[in-house]
Chain A
Amino acid sequence: MKPNGNDPLVMIDNDRHLFKVSRNNFTDPDVFAKERERIFSTCWLYLGHESELKKPGDFVTRVVGGRSILFNKDRQGNIRALFNSCPHRGSQVCRERKGNAKSFQCFYHGWVFGQDGALRNQPGEESYGHDFKNDPDSNMRQVPRLESYRGLYFLCYDPEAIPLVDYLGNAKEYLDVIFDQSVDGMEVIGGTQEYAMNANWKLLVENSIDGYHATSTHATYLDYLKSMEGGLTNVALSGVGKDLGNGHGVIEYSAPWGRPAGQWVSLWGDEGKKEIDALNARNEKLYGKEKADRIAYKNRNLLIFPNLIINDIMSLTIRTFFPQSPNLLHVNAWAAGPQEESAAARKFRLSNFLEFLGPGGFATPDDVEALEHCQLGYRNSQEVRWNDISKGMGLEQPAMDDEEQMRAFWREWSRRLTGPEQIRGERT
């Protein structure tokens, strides 16, 4: 018998300001199967950044939403996403992680495909019907939808999906603030952090936009910053948390750490100050003071539903993750920065990143430990059934250390899994 078979997935009591999420959602194979069908097969999913495909012929292979994808740029400069499966008998055609290729040959029987996935030739061609090559089923298949915004490429396995820009909705404006940090364009910096957690993927969604846990989970990181000469400003940690609609959420806040996007700390020296001042002056000229200040001094942890996190904090990171099973997730994380950035600024950016972020940083490993211990705690979910996400629920404007941005995620998640009737059902 399933622990909470007939319970709602999410329970909302607006009168008492309670927002509860069933722990079953983190362990149940049926929920996992429904997520594959109703989330990872219908939502726009982050695939990669245009700067990863610089030259014609560049390609990257990647698993996105459980599918094996070949992301590439052809001779004419068109960017494509192909299902990396041979139309003949299904082998993965491209077995390299990245590279540059004029064509792709499946090694099993030797079929050769163009950069557009079209079958070019196959051994023993004369044994096939004369129009075999004209049959679209002989080609590598393109993903149904591929669209981009500010250089971020998303794919969608649902041909009927709404356009990406509509899906992004209110999150677009936050992406603009982040990507307007560069005039020449942002680029993904070399090197991918590929890691894993023995935890349900939704735990990492919550954690990535959780402004509440820093003091206890990241005590050693905060100790480190405090002890470092010139590592911090005296700016206070404060800001807001928002539901952006469509499941997207954000926290936007000021914080004491240095930001290569415009908040100088004395550790970066006089040269660093000149550079940051020039950057802020440029932004003010381009965008006006209000927006320039927002770019420079406000941090953003942005969730694009369901699984893309763009954290514009002491560094800029693009992070996406996919469940392998209810209790295992794989993460890919990149650092991004303006193409025009100086070598010194790039160094600070990366150094800032590594102090805090990633599987070898001073903070992320403690997040991983927390999420894994939540997952272990869910062994008791038959008896101890509900997660609490109520913080700040009754407030007009929830703060960055409240949980409104997570409720944004759960509302959309629940709507997609159960349909609108049941989320409206709220606790009745």
Chain B
Amino acid sequence: MIAATEKGSDAGTLTRPEVEDFLYAEAELLDEWRLPEWLDLFTDDATYQIPPTDIPADASPDNNLFYIADDRYRLGERVKRLMKRTAHAEYPHSKTRHQVSNVRILSQDDGQVEVACNFSTYRTKDDFSNIFFGKLLYGLEVSDGKIRIRSKRVVLDTNGLRNQGRISIIL
């Protein structure tokens, strides 16, 4: 387990710098394509969601068509897929740069920490580069001195994906 998930201060509560360190480490794993390690940051019941941009940001994937609505199983399969040469959309791997900023702790209660931040992620594949940007909403869980992700929701600020085309990387 990477150092950033080790939790230093009082059990069950996080400071903003601790959250920031954690998010920076997550970004680094993604940029280095260390996806199996990235997956280890998630709890067994975790979700990873990207809603479309023409419905309210808090809509449910049970009755709305999302871009991505993974439970932990499908997230694991997504990682498995992306690590294969036959995941053509990401072979050879894109170069990415994940940036997080404006980190806020929205609430924390009993080891459950709700976090919001802004993000921009740059991607280059072949001769094309583009940017994804918006807000990330995290549900973090602190237990046994470790931080894990229980939910990650990517709220895009674009109208659809006209410039980015697809979301074949992890945001």
Chain A residues packing against B (C-beta within 8 Å): 97-98, 189-198, 217, 219-220, 223-224, 227-228, 330, 334-335, 343, 346-347, 350-351, 353-355, 358-360, 362, 364-366, 368-370, 372, 376
Contact between chains at B162 and A191 (CB < 8 Å): no
A10 to B102, CA, bound (A): 56
Contact between chains at B52 and A194 (CB < 8 Å): yes
Contact between chains at B89 and A190 (CB < 8 Å): no
Which residues of A sit under 8 angstroms from B68, Cβ to Cβ?
A: 354, 360
Contact between chains at B54 and A97 (CB < 8 Å): yes
Contact between chains at A192 and B165 (CB < 8 Å): no
Task: Identify which of residues 100-158 in chain B touch chain A, using a CB-to-CB cut-off of 8 Å.
Answer: 126, 128
In the assembled complex, B62 has its CB within 8 A of some CB on chain A = yes
A200 to B81, CA, bound (A): 27
Contact between chains at A355 and B62 (CB < 8 Å): no
Which residues of B sit under 8 angstroms from A223, Cβ to Cβ?
A: 81, 84, 86
Which residues of B sit under 8 angstroms from A98, Cβ to Cβ?
A: 54
16 further contact pairs, Cβ within 8 A, besides A220-B84, A350-B69, A354-B67: A97-B54, A189-B64, A191-B54, A191-B55, A192-B54, A194-B159, A195-B166, A196-B165, A217-B88, A224-B81, A351-B69, A353-B65, A360-B66, A362-B78, A362-B81, A368-B165
Interface centre among B52, B59, B84, B128 (most CB of A within 10 A): B52
A108 to B165, CA, bound (A): 33
Which residues of B sit under 8 angstroms from A366, Cβ to Cβ?
A: 87-89
B66 to chain A, nearest CB (A): 6
If A189-B63, A346-B63 touch, whether A224 touches B52 (CB-CB below 8 Å) is: no
5 nearest A-B pairs in the assembled complex, by CB-CB distance: A194-B160, A365-B89, A359-B166, A191-B65, A360-B68
Which residues of B sit under 8 angstroms from A219, Cβ to Cβ?
A: 84, 86
- The number of chain B residues with a CB under 8 A from chain A is 39
If A220-B81, A365-B89 touch, whether A196 touches B162 (CB-CB below 8 Å) is: yes
Task: Identify which of residues 48-98 in chain B touch chain A, using a CB-to-CB cut-off of 8 Å.
Answer: 50-55, 59, 61-69, 74, 77-78, 80-81, 84, 86-90
A374 to chain B, nearest CB (A): 13
A221 to chain B, nearest CB (A): 8
Which residues of A sit under 8 angstroms from B160, Cβ to Cβ?
A: 192-195
In the assembled complex, B15 has its CB within 8 A of some CB on chain A = no
A354 — nearest CB in chain B belongs to which residue? B69
Contact between chains at A198 and B159 (CB < 8 Å): no
A192 to B128, CA, bound (A): 25
Contact between chains at B65 and A350 (CB < 8 Å): yes
If A220-B81, A368-B89 touch, whether A191 touches B165 (CB-CB below 8 Å) is: no
Contact between chains at B167 and A359 (CB < 8 Å): yes
Contact between chains at A197 and B161 (CB < 8 Å): no
Binary interface profile of B, 2-32, with partner A (CB < 8 Å = 1, else 0)? Answer: 0000000000000000000000000000000
- Provide 7 A-B residue pairs closer than 8 Å at the C-beta atoms, listed in order of the A residue: A191-B52, A194-B161, A350-B63, A358-B67, A359-B67, A362-B81, A369-B88
Which residues of A sit under 8 angstroms from B65, Cβ to Cβ?
A: 189-193, 334-335, 350, 353-354, 358
Contact between chains at A362 and B62 (CB < 8 Å): no
Contact between chains at B52 and A347 (CB < 8 Å): no
Which residues of A sit under 8 angstroms from B161, Cβ to Cβ?
A: 194-196, 359
A376 — nearest CB in chain B belongs to which residue? B126
Contact between chains at A191 and B89 (CB < 8 Å): no
A362 to B78, CA, bound (A): 7
A359 to B59, CA, bound (A): 19
A350 to B69, CA, bound (A): 9
A105 to B84, CA, bound (A): 53
Which residues of A sit under 8 angstroms from B55, Cβ to Cβ?
A: 190-191
Contact between chains at B64 and A190 (CB < 8 Å): yes
A102 to B69, CA, bound (A): 36
A369 to B125, CA, bound (A): 10
A293 to B30, CA, bound (A): 46
A41 to B63, CA, bound (A): 36
A271 to chain B, nearest CB (A): 15
A154 to B161, CA, bound (A): 25
